[in-house]
A and B are shown apart, each in its own frame.
Chain A
Amino acid sequence: MTCAEFQKALPYIIDGGGSEEEQEHLRTCPVCSDLVADLRYIADVAKLLVPMEDPHPRVWQGIEKKLDSEHLAKPARRNV
């Protein structure tokens, strides 16, 4: 199997699976194994981008204001 053939299949096998031939190529080809290592590393570090904080209060205030202006939400009930 050539690197080009392996890399063509890669989008569909990177998260698991792949034929015996593809797995063998990955085991024996340093170029493709480095590529796969990089792509998996990128997928892992993506978790760094999970938002650490809630949206600013102005977002919710803006939503509430627009909902009111379009009469899309019932007014909150007040406990008597």
Chain B
Amino acid sequence: MTGNTAEAEDLTQEAFLQLFRKIATFRGESAFSTWLHRLAVNVVLMHLRKKGLPEVSLEESMEPQQEDGPRKDVGTRDNVLAGSIDRVNLERAVESLPPGYRIIFVLHDVEGYEHNEIAEMMGCSIGNSKSQLHKARMKLRDLLKQSKAEKAANRR
């Protein structure tokens, strides 16, 4: 979620401390793993806010937003990405995502949480979770296509 190993280690420690401090507040209304994950996500969000980083989508997306409009490539056909992504490129692209997009993408596509679970963790609606995931994937698509084009240009 942080895109940075050192930060992730620090925040993991903080999340476990928060767990011990707040364990008495767990009421069993959700799965313990969901509660713990929510706690961890909140630790990450607090950290991002302290750094003054734009979350882009998380809080701003609590209300439904108008999309940016149709894709600029509507009406043209791009080369598809299938088979062209490796772990290194994907990792770089995910690290470049705005933090809000990155968190949703990691929770859903990497860690496999469902939208209802993410909505509970993030305090947003299922619709917002889907919308932000879509924006994250679209942004990744742009980044990966750019990377692919740059590689092709360098080969010439």
What residues make up the interface of A, taking CB atoms closer than 8 Å to B?
A: 2-4, 7-8, 10-12, 14, 30-31, 34-35, 37-39, 41-43, 45-50, 55-56, 58-59, 62-63, 66-67, 70, 72-73
Q: Which residues of B contact A62 (CB under 8 A)?
A: 9, 13
- Kindly state the separation between the CA atoms of A20 and B91 in the bound complex, as whole angstroms: 36
Contact of B71 among A7, A46, A58 (CB under 8 A): A7
Q: Does B94 contact A (CB under 8 A)?
A: yes
Closest to A49 in B: B110
Q: Does B77 contact A (CB under 8 A)?
A: yes
Contact B105 A46 (CB under 8 A): yes
- Kindly state the separation between the CA atoms of A72 and B134 in the bound complex, as whole angstroms: 41
Contact B80 A7 (CB under 8 A): no
- Kindly state the separation between the CA atoms of A41 and B81 in the bound complex, as whole angstroms: 7
